[in-house]
Amino acid sequence: MVVVGSLVAVLVADGLVNVVPSGLAAFKDRMQRAWIARRAATGREDDRYLFGTVDAGLAAGSILVLLVVVAYRPIDFGLVAAAAGIGLALTLGLIALSLRTT
């Protein structure tokens, strides 16, 4: 129930940010300005490091949720392998489509 509640909260928050585009733009601008101010003259003040850090945090959160779910109810390895295979196939398909020239 906690996982479902957390998921719903994140999805609602994400939806609200998308509904109010000016709010998203202002949030993004404030976040980028703060990042640049904290990282000035370190060589890590550009967007690549900002989004890499955010992505790493999201990955860590995903792993934490995975561990909670597995601790709650063990998952059959076949399902995990199937999901990984489907994810890999879709990712490779999207990469191939993006590299294809018309």
For tokens 């992505």, what's the residue? 55
pLDDT at position 32 over 70? yes
Backbone dihedral region of 66: left (phi > 0), alpha (psi from -120 to 50 degrees) or beta?
Answer: alpha
User: By the 8 A CB rule, do 32 and 50 touch?
Assistant: yes
46 or 63, greater pLDDT: 63
pTM of the full structure: 0.51
pLDDT at position 52 over 70? yes
- Rounded Cα distance between 2 and 8, Å, is 10
